[in-house]
Chain A
Amino acid sequence: MTRYVTGRRDFLKSSLLATGGLLALPSCLKNYTAWQFFTEEEALCMSAICEQIIPTDIYGPGAGYAGVIFYIDKQLDEVFLDDREEYREGIRLIQDSAIQLHGMKFEALDFELQKGFLEQMEVGENRALSAEENMQQSALFRKMVQHTMQGFYGSPRHGGNRNYISYRLMKLDYPYIVGQNRYRDLKNH
């Protein structure tokens, strides 16, 4: 898959896809082999969490389209070194408890169930986990929220915010230099 979609027509096409509710991303992730930190399985779970944190809605694409997962993957490999264990262990607990509570992996749950699951994770009330685990998971969730926001609202240079999608949603031109109100072509950068 291409990580950057730069043409305007491509952008329109993909955003239509996404707003149509067609979450084509997971199958697309399956063919992606260049993970720096996540295993393919972890990536599927994590990208579903990202899409919950910033969902596709009537305004347009969410974290999935923006490739927030690539941002988090890259930073866990390069910058957030202290968070690696927490992520690995945390995603394992999410999957174990999703199977225990709902008989399915997290990413396979329907959207509303996923949402409810994360709301409980946020406040530390996952019935399948111990009090101590719940505390850890709640802290991890706060971190996941921050990292997802960074990937979605930060510069595309770091792997997320594909095609400047968040700036477009906010109707923000994002000038590199004032007087040149156009998006940079990332392919040629």
Chain B
Amino acid sequence: MTKKHYNAIVIGAGASGGIIAKELAMEGLTVALMERGDWQVFDKHPTDELISQRTSVLDSVSGPDWKKNPRVYVGPDGKREIVRPGDGRYSPLAAVVGSGTVTYGAMAWRFMEEDFKLKSEYGEVKGSTLDDWPISYTELEPYYEKAEWEIGVAGQAGANPFEAPRNKPYPMPPFEYNRDGEIFSAAAERLGMHPFPIPMLRNSVPYNDRPACIRNRTCVGFQCPVDGKNGTQNTVIPKAISTGNCDLIVEAKVAEILSRPNGNVKGVRYYDANDREKTITADIVIVTASATESARLMLNSKTDLFPNGLGNNNDWVGRNLQGHAYTGAFGIFDHDIKSYAGPGATMGICDFNHHNPGIIGGGLICNEFNRLPYLFSQTRPPGEPSWGKGHKEFQINNLKRMAGLHGPIQEMPMFDSRVTIDPEVRDHWGIPVVALSGQRHPLDRVHCQFLSKKAEEILKEAGAVRTWLSVGGGGGPSGHQHQNGTLRMGNDPKTSVVNKYGQVHDIDNLFVSDASVFVTGGGFNPVLTIMAVAYHTAGYIVKNWKGTRFR
């Protein structure tokens, strides 16, 4: 049974929402955790590449429903086109309890100290809204630790010499290198680099009452058949529910955040599992619906005090949409280099995050997650046939002989790369949808070239008989699986949407705590930082709840 009134409504049960709900429920607040999707069930989604969350060709195991959730993509020429989640331009994230954390690759990166103060480190970047975070690594460190221990990370403290200071080791020992990880790490060391085992949100040993990882080939993009991958759906969300204070309301599509005349928020309007329109009220609302959907909710919630959407009186809502251009290189070897055991990425190198002449930020290099057969068929060296006899022959002979080294580059945030609301298109429930527009900064491409060349050096040193670059960056708005930045945190309300605690400027009882609040996206996959920020925000809410209750 859902109540009519809660202390807190949390919108979105993904990486951040699950953590907030648990932290508040443990402190005795009544919480409605509202999720547009449902629990993902493994049996409905066998090891099927074409519907996986990584190569969603026919459907996506974790939603959102293709037919009900259109978006609009605005090309560089201003042409508007309706896109569905299977289309790369849609920037989909999942729509299930746990969201991306059910199917993710589970790399668990802490940002470096420099990542929180890029402007101080590198100065202004022309054409970019690059800035410092209002929060430092040191302030977030205890919350990184909390995420590592509560959600569960396997890794080796100190193995990465560039890692920022930490107080406590990881709770689980690191994963072993796989075959290509072994070969690449030896090559990288010969080149003077510092490879180390990638920290992972997977169990290297039994942890949290769940078994160890079985090296399943179909890991990234899939739910784990033995539950050895750690997300919010098998950690904090069950804990939140078990307190008795948290109602998880599934298939609840929140359409709008409702406000009081004084500007504070009072609840939400949503469509329930049977598509009936409903409202519930709360003392505080926390938006954790992902960088694209959270911005949409804010923009779709208009009041007299905020005629352009909540928190948007200075026109910063939805802007600075970032993600990660992936960049690197491939090589072919004259022996099987891929064991094809899952998930495939085992070795990381942080030598190119920061302090490389001429490069702002930089990025990480890792060996790759397995390319399953269809994805592999779409990956070829330049000049190689894309169909016919030669294509098939390449596929048969090189599936285990081709390996890549890739990483996410620190993108330069762009004011015009953004989420807006499309004036015409509506979803199944009649809610106006996200429109994505803008361009990447030209420097991204330059930085990608730098990182790709480093990756190629390692491949050559490792004995690849043929190598080629695959350079990212360029083109339309960023976003995608690592979408972030649309509701920026900052001290100055004129150039940001929320403060360092995720509290919306001028609306005391409205918070945002997902990847939207990122100032910059780092040269690392984002999820552990999303989790740390969520713990930090929850801590602030709990502390103040005991005093003012945000009234």
Q: Which residues of A are found within 8 Å of B59, using beta-carbon distances?
A: 79
Chain A positions 165 through 181: 1 when the CB is less than 8 Å from some CB of chain B, otherwise 0 = 01101101011111100
**Known pairs A79-B59, A166-B373, A170-B395; A178 contacts B388 (CB<8 A):** no
Q: Which residues of A are found within 8 Å of B50, using beta-carbon distances?
A: 150, 154-155, 158
Q: Is B386 in contact with chain A by the CB < 8 A criterion?
A: yes
**Known pairs A62-B392, A170-B395; A153 contacts B58 (CB<8 A):** no
Select from chain B the residue with minimum beta-carbon distance to A78: B58
Q: What would 4 more interface pairs be, CB under 8 Å, given A55-B389, A170-B399, A175-B217?
A: A59-B393, A115-B388, A178-B215, A178-B342
Tell which of A54, A169, A177 touches B387, judged by Cβ atoms closer than 8 Å. Answer: A54
Tell which of A53, A57, A178 touches B393, judged by Cβ atoms closer than 8 Å. Answer: A57
Tell which of A55, A152, A154, A172 touches B388, judged by Cβ atoms closer than 8 Å. Answer: A55
Q: Is B46 in contact with chain A by the CB < 8 A criterion?
A: yes
Q: Are B392 and A54 in contact (CB under 8 A)?
A: yes
Q: Is A52 in contact with chain B by the CB < 8 A criterion?
A: yes
Q: Is A75 in contact with chain B by the CB < 8 A criterion?
A: yes
Q: Are B377 and A153 in contact (CB under 8 A)?
A: yes
**Can you identify 23 A-B contacts, CB atoms within 8 angstroms?**
A54-B388, A55-B388, A57-B393, A59-B393, A75-B58, A149-B377, A149-B378, A150-B50, A153-B49, A153-B377, A154-B374, A155-B46, A155-B48, A155-B50, A158-B58, A169-B396, A170-B399, A172-B373, A175-B217, A176-B46, A176-B47, A178-B217, A179-B214
* A 139-189 contacts with B by CB, 8 A: 145-146, 148-150, 152-155, 157-158, 166-167, 169-170, 172, 174-179
Report the Cα distance A178→B226, complex, angstroms: 10
- For residue B361, give the distance in angstroms from its CB to the closest CB of chain A: 34
Q: Which residues of A are found within 8 Å of B48, using beta-carbon distances?
A: 154-155, 157-158
Q: Which residues of A are found within 8 Å of B216, using beta-carbon distances?
A: 177-178
Q: Is B391 in contact with chain A by the CB < 8 A criterion?
A: yes
Q: Are A54 and B391 in contact (CB under 8 A)?
A: yes
Q: Is B462 in contact with chain A by the CB < 8 A criterion?
A: no
Q: Are A170 and B373 in contact (CB under 8 A)?
A: yes
- For residue B439, give the distance in angstroms from its CB to the closest CB of chain A: 24
Q: Which residues of A are found within 8 Å of B46, using beta-carbon distances?
A: 155, 157, 176
Q: Which residues of B are found within 8 Å of A176, using beta-carbon distances?
A: 46-47
Q: Is B501 in contact with chain A by the CB < 8 A criterion?
A: no
Report the Cα distance A175→B225, complex, angstroms: 12
> What is the predominant secondary structure among interface residues of chain B facing chain A?
loop
Please list the 8 inter-chain residue pairs (A to B) with the smallest Cβ-Cβ separation, ordered nearest first. A153-B373, A154-B50, A155-B48, A153-B374, A149-B377, A53-B387, A145-B387, A178-B214
Q: Are A177 and B373 in contact (CB under 8 A)?
A: no
Q: Are B392 and A59 in contact (CB under 8 A)?
A: yes
Which of A148, A176, A177 gathers most chain B CB within 10 Å? A177
Q: Which residues of A are found within 8 Å of B376, using beta-carbon distances?
A: 153
* A 12-37 contacts with B by CB, 8 A: none
Q: Are A79 and B392 in contact (CB under 8 A)?
A: no
- For residue A115, give the distance in angstroms from its CB to the closest CB of chain B: 7
Select from chain A the residue with minimum beta-carbon distance to B341: A178
Q: Which residues of A are found within 8 Å of B47, using beta-carbon distances?
A: 155, 174-176
Report the Cα distance A150→B48, complex, angstroms: 11
**Known pairs A52-B388, A53-B388, A79-B58; A150 contacts B374 (CB<8 A):** yes
Report the Cα distance A178→B222, complex, angstroms: 14
Select from chain A the residue with minimum beta-carbon distance to B376: A153
Interface residues of A (CB under 8 A from B): 52-55, 57, 59, 62, 75, 79, 115, 145-146, 148-150, 152-155, 157-158, 166-167, 169-170, 172, 174-179
Chain B positions 358 through 389: 1 when the CB is less than 8 Å from some CB of chain A, otherwise 0 = 00000000000000011011100000001111
Which of A152, A153, A174 gathers most chain B CB within 10 Å? A153
Chain B positions 34 through 78: 1 when the CB is less than 8 Å from some CB of chain A, otherwise 0 = 000000000000111110000001110000000000000000000
Report the Cα distance A16→B46, complex, angstroms: 31
Q: Are A55 and B395 in contact (CB under 8 A)?
A: no
Q: Is B133 in contact with chain A by the CB < 8 A criterion?
A: no
Select from chain A the residue with minimum beta-carbon distance to B399: A170
Report the Cα distance A157→B389, complex, angstroms: 25
**Known pairs A170-B396, A170-B399, A178-B215; A155 contacts B49 (CB<8 A):** yes
For chain B, which range describes its interface: under 10, 10 to 19, 20 to 34, or 35 or more residues?
20 to 34
Report the Cα distance A59→B393, complex, angstroms: 8
Report the Cα distance A81→B49, complex, angstroms: 21
Report the Cα distance A176→B225, complex, angstroms: 9
Q: Is B6 in contact with chain A by the CB < 8 A criterion?
A: no
* B 392-425 contacts with A by CB, 8 A: 392-393, 395-396, 399
**Known pairs A75-B58, A178-B215; A57 contacts B392 (CB<8 A):** yes
Which of A55, A148, A154, A158 gathers most chain B CB within 10 Å? A154
Report the Cα distance A158→B377, complex, angstroms: 17
Q: Which residues of A are found within 8 Å of B373, using beta-carbon distances?
A: 153-154, 166-167, 170, 172
Q: Is B111 in contact with chain A by the CB < 8 A criterion?
A: no
- For residue B393, give the distance in angstroms from its CB to the closest CB of chain A: 7
**Known pairs A75-B58, A149-B374, A150-B50; A177 contacts B225 (CB<8 A):** yes
Q: Which residues of A are found within 8 Å of B450, using beta-carbon distances?
A: none
Q: Which residues of A are found within 8 Å of B378, using beta-carbon distances?
A: 146, 149
Report the Cα distance A167→B514, complex, angstroms: 40
Select from chain B the residue with minimum beta-carbon distance to A177: B225
Report the Cα distance A57→B342, complex, angstroms: 30
Report the Cα distance A75→B58, complex, angstroms: 8
Q: Which residues of B are found within 8 Å of A52, using beta-carbon distances?
A: 387-388
Q: Which residues of A are found within 8 Å of B396, using beta-carbon distances?
A: 59, 169-170
Q: Is B104 in contact with chain A by the CB < 8 A criterion?
A: no
Report the Cα distance A170→B396, complex, angstroms: 5
**Known pairs A57-B392, A155-B49; A172 contacts B399 (CB<8 A):** yes
Q: Which residues of B are found within 8 Å of A79, using beta-carbon distances?
A: 58-59
Q: Which residues of A are found within 8 Å of B387, using beta-carbon distances?
A: 52-54, 145, 148
Select from chain A the residue with minimum beta-carbon distance to B340: A172
Report the Cα distance A53→B49, complex, angstroms: 20
Q: Which residues of B are found within 8 Å of A179, using beta-carbon distances?
A: 214
- For residue B296, give the distance in angstroms from its CB to the closest CB of chain A: 24
Report the Cα distance A175→B50, complex, angstroms: 16
Q: Which residues of A are found within 8 Å of B58, using beta-carbon distances?
A: 75, 79, 150, 158
* B 97-130 contacts with A by CB, 8 A: none
Report the Cα distance A174→B374, complex, angstroms: 14
Q: Are B214 and A145 in contact (CB under 8 A)?
A: no
Q: Are B392 and A55 in contact (CB under 8 A)?
A: yes
* B 244-287 contacts with A by CB, 8 A: none
- For residue A160, give the distance in angstroms from its CB to the closest CB of chain B: 10
**Known pairs A149-B377, A178-B216; A154 contacts B57 (CB<8 A):** yes
